[in-house]
């Protein structure tokens, strides 16, 4: 191992920029990291920050616009079983809502378009946004390595308030509910390796606000929680729950039995504030993103000026249905797919189909299912040379980066009144230019930091 790899790895271990080593609950590995920050235009970064609160508000409005979502989901629900099951659960539970407050912890992801040097939105995440805890620590790693090896101090890396943004959002919801002696319940995945990312939020809540949280695997919800029949208050280990914070529940593979769906229903029907509610999770589907890019749709939710600002970050998005727009997209997907990506209604990385793989993929599934996918133009982003250290293996070569901005919004689902709306904190992920997916946990990317120029 060379000296810089050793220094990076041991600094990461000593400061907690780590992932769980699956062999033990008390063993960590350095997260995949770049050795230095990546240059990123300040104007584009500022634009991403400025868009976050309007985007939060937009997705809140979508979650409150049942007619808009009904239209989309009615078509999707028979084609995509997972989305359909979530939607049906939403319909059942929405009839007798017990908790009007709703919390969104969001992350909007962008790539820099090399044609106009402006950010283009990859996607908007409304459930289980991750890496705030690790990405907050990356500037200090880069500063350390920079001073030690390159005599460079990376002065223009912006402060990263990602953990604070999420923890403050959870605290705002907790405060608003004012449920005596309550805890925040983190619902986690069984095989999660990104544990320390979540722990950073948990410890921030304790240290800053003296608010305790309890972590519970999604599969243990029925066993370890109960809902009071009179008050609908959710209890875990006999402690009332103010907020249910989902770091699970977005991947169909997690729902291995009907018990998982019953668990989701129990939580949804409880008095606790859900982060996110089922309808908020559905607002974050790729299909919604595609519909929003249709001319005139943004204007249903925001004023013209805001619509203009938001739309500047969109690339071409198409349905694959039998509308004239959809038929045109089918033509592209089958005959000229090089500059496009095909996306199903899934989260967590590793689900998309790229470029020349699209035609064969479409032909391998029934044509009746095509409209559960969307077609998106690939963002034209410049490559830059970077060094990535992944589990002591060094990759040096051409890379591309994706910037995420975190945001939190608390609202009343019945009146659509907003109580709290923030956008701050960033994640920069960098991956080899020739790998399609950028997921750090999914095994393709690394955590980086922007050096604003
Ligand atoms: P997920 O919800 O699974 O993260 P994304 O839409 O973010 O789905 O796609 C996963 C990855 O695929 C992104 O992180 C990015 O690396 C790549 N990707 C997705 N859409 C585009 C696009 N339009 N242009 C370029 N790369 C994209
Ligand atoms: Mg993504
Ligand atoms: Mg996503």
Residue pLDDT, tens place only, 128-176: 999 999 999 999 999 999 999 977 788 899 999 999 999 999 999 999 9
437 appears as a binding residue in the annotation: yes
Concerning whether 347 is annotated as a catalytic residue, the answer is: yes
Q: Which of 123, 435, 444, 448 for mutating ligand 1's site (highest number of atoms within 8 Å of CB)? A: 123
Same domain, 203 and 332: no
Q: Where are the beta strands (DSSP E) in 320-358?
A: 340-343, 353-354
Closest CA to 59 of 277, 377, 305, 301: 301
Same domain, 165 and 205: yes
Please provide the average confidence, as pLDDT, over all residues in the chain: 96
Domain termination site, one of 325, 356, 378: 378
Choose the catalytic residue: 219, 421, 429, 438.
429
Same domain, 372 and 418: no
Core vs surface per residue 186-205: b (16+ CB within 10 A) or e = bbbbeebbbbbbbbbbbbbb
Choose the catalytic residue: 9, 56, 123, 421.
123
Residue 211 lies in a domain: yes
Same domain, 242 and 198: yes
Residue 189 lies in a domain: yes
Number of structural domains in the chain: 2
Q: Can you give the pLDDT at residue 151? A: 72
Q: Which helix (H) or strand (E) holds 200?
A: helix 195-209
427 touches 406 (CB < 8 A): yes
Same domain, 223 and 350: no
Angle at 60 between CA 343 and CA 306, to 5 degrees: 85
Q: What is the DSSP string of 112-141?
A: EETTTTEEEEEEEE-S----HHHHTTHHHH
Unique residue bearing structure tokens 């608003």: 176
81/92 Cα distance (integer angstroms)? 16
286 appears as a binding residue in the annotation: yes
Strand 33-34 to strand 239-247: parallel, antiparallel, or no bridges (unpaired)? unpaired
CATH of the domain at 334: 3.30.1490.50
Concerning whether 148 is annotated as a catalytic residue, the answer is: no
Structural domain of 336: 316-378
Concerning whether 60 is annotated as a catalytic residue, the answer is: no
Give the pLDDT band (50/70/90) at residue 380. Answer: very high
Same domain, 326 and 428: no
Same domain, 329 and 417: no
Residue 307 lies in a domain: no
Q: Please give the ipTM for the structure prediction.
A: 0.99
Q: Which of 282, 437, 442, 448 for mutating ligand 1's site (highest number of atoms within 8 Å of CB)? A: 437
Q: Which helix (H) or strand (E) holds 142?
A: helix 138-145
Give the pLDDT band (50/70/90) at residue 439. Answer: low
Same domain, 195 and 47: yes
Mean pLDDT for the stretch of residues 59-69: 97
Residue 309 lies in a domain: no
Rounded to 10 degrees, the C-alpha dihedral 380/384/386/388 comes to 10
């Amino acid at each position: 191992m060379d000296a810089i790899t050793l220094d990076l790895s041991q600094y990461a271990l000593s400061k907690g920029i780590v992932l769980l080593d699956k062999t033990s609950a008390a063993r960590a590995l350095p997260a995949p990291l770049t050795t230095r920050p990546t240059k990123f235009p300040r104007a584009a970064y500022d634009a991403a920050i400025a868009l976050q609160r309007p985007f939060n508000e937009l997705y809140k409005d979508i979650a409150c616009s049942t007619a808009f979502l009904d239209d989309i989901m009615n078509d999707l629900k028979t084609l995509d079983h997972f989305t359909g099951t979530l939607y049906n659960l939403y319909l059942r539970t929405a009839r007798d809502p017990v908790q009007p407050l709703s919390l969104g912890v969001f992350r909007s992801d962008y790539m820099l378009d090399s044609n106009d040097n402006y950010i283009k939105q990859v996607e908007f995440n409304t459930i289980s946004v991750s890496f705030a805890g690790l990405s907050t620590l990356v500037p200090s790693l880069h500063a350390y390595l920079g001073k030690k090896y390159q005599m460079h101090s990376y002065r223009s890396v912006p402060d990263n308030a990602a953990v604070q943004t999420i923890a403050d959002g959870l605290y705002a919801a907790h405060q608003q509910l004012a449920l005596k002696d309550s805890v925040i319940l983190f619902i986690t995945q069984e095989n999660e390796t990104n544990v320390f990312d979540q722990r950073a939020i948990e410890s921030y809540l304790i240290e800053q606000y003296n608010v305790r949280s309890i972590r519970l695997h999604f599969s243990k919800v029925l066993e370890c929680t109960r809902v009071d029949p009179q008050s609908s208050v959710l209890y875990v280990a006999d402690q009332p729950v103010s907020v249910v914070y989902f770091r699970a529940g977005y991947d169909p593979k997690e729902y291995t039995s009907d018990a998982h769906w019953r668990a989701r229903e129990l939580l949804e029907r409880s008095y606790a504030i859900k982060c996110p509610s089922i309808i908020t999770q559905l607002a974050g589907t790729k299909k919604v993103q595609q519909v929003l890019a249709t001319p005139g749709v943004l204007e249903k939710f925001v004023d013209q000026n805001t619509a203009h600002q938001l739309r500047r970050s969109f690339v071409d998005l198409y349905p694959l249905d039998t509308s004239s727009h959809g038929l045109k997209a089918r033509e592209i997907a089958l005959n000229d797919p090089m500059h496009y990506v095909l996306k199903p209604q899934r989260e967590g990385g590793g689900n998309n189909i790229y470029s020349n793989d699209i035609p064969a993929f479409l032909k391998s599934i029934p044509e009746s299912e095509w409209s559960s996918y969307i077609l998106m133009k690939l963002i034209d982003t410049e490559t830059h040379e970077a060094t990535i250290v992944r589990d002591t293996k060094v990759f040096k070569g051409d890379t591309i980066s994706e910037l995420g901005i975190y945001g939190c919004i608390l609202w009343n689902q019945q009146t659509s009144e907003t109580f709290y709306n923030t956008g701050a904190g960033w994640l920069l992920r960098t991956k080899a230019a020739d790998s399609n997916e950028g997921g750090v946990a999914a095994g393709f990317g690394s955590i980086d930091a922007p050096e604003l120029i």
